Chain A
Amino acid sequence: MALVYLDPFAQLQTELERMVDTAFRQSGSRLFPPVNVFDAGDAYIVKAELPGVSPEKIDIEVEDDALTLRGERSFSEPNPEAAFHRRERGTGQFRRVVRIPGRLASDEVKAEFTDGVLTVRLPKAKEARPRRVQIEAA
């Protein structure tokens, strides 16, 4: 039997590629940070890439179905004698409101920040969670 190495990202990547093009074409301006929203069954997961931002500088607020991410990206400037060859990384403030596509529980929203990626876990309202339905005996 041949051993096939499955790219763990393959399926996700294909779906993402399809959706990324659509999302970018739809939105006129390029909002920062770009976010990915996932359905994790009993919760919504919002991920955003914020490399170089200190977690203390990120402000997260949830109200009804709106998740607001606010903060600032700044880095210490190198010494003034430094000559730049490339300057592709931006700095500045950001504020973004993400609409969550469903009802949220009043449970605690949890957020974590690892290696520059912010992951926000928003538990769904009980009625919105997938439920097992038993077939009743006739």
Chain B
Amino acid sequence: MTPNDLEATPKQNAERHDETTRPGAYFQPAVDIFETKEELVLVADTPGVPPDGVRIDLEGDELVMEGRVRPGEYDGLKPLHVEYGVGGYYRRFTLGETIDREKIKAQMKNGVLVLKLPKAERARARRISVEAA
């Protein structure tokens, strides 16, 4: 039997709370978010977005990520069979951790955005030893 472990899910339209001046469809990218002692890591599938098409904003504890795709690619192409929509990506998160903003790292490879958010020193779990009185 042919392997097909992966299933396609239809793209979800993103709900933007801000109004953009540029028109266009935005979808919610699938993400993995995991946490280690030192950092929060967010991995998002944003196919079609070049490294310079990404915008990340962290305001207070709200993280906004936006990816824009290149429009020119589809010039002169007539759709015959279509299974997925084309557009940018947008997703917003409220972070539960305090992040050291200076040390945020973002990397884009093969349409996947990896965002590393190191926890602020204060927020890291620290062992407090109890002194005998």
Contacts and interface: CB of A to CB of B under 8 A. Distances in A.
Interface of A: 5, 7-10, 12-13, 15-17, 19-20, 23-24, 29-41, 44-45, 49-55, 73, 75, 78-79, 81-96, 101, 113-117
Given A49-B111, A85-B33, A13 B25 contact: yes
A89 B36 CA distance: 19
B78 A36 contact: no
Q: How large is the interface on B (under 10, 10 to 19, 20 to 34, 35 or more residues)?
A: 35 or more
28 contacts: A5-B21, A7-B23, A9-B24, A9-B86, A13-B25, A13-B86, A20-B85, A34-B83, A36-B83, A37-B82, A49-B48, A52-B109, A52-B112, A75-B43, A78-B41, A81-B36, A82-B34, A83-B36, A87-B32, A88-B30, A89-B32, A89-B43, A94-B6, A95-B2, A95-B3, A96-B4, A116-B45, A116-B46
A33 B84 CA distance: 10
Q: Name the prevailing secondary structure of the B interface residues.
A: loop
Interface in B58-103: 71-72, 74, 76-87
B4 A86 contact: no
B81 A37 contact: yes
Contact of A79 (B9, B21, B36, B112): B36
Contacts of B15: none
B47 A115 contact: yes
A35 B81 contact: yes
Contacts of B3: 92-95
Contacts of B126: none
A35 to B, nearest CB: 6
B5 interface: yes
A94 B86 contact: no
Contacts of B84: 16, 20, 34-36, 49
B56 interface: no
Interface in B1-45: 2-10, 21-25, 30-37, 41, 43, 45
Given A13-B24, A38-B78, A117-B48, A86 B32 contact: yes
A42 B35 CA distance: 50
B31 to A, nearest CB: 6
B4 A94 contact: yes
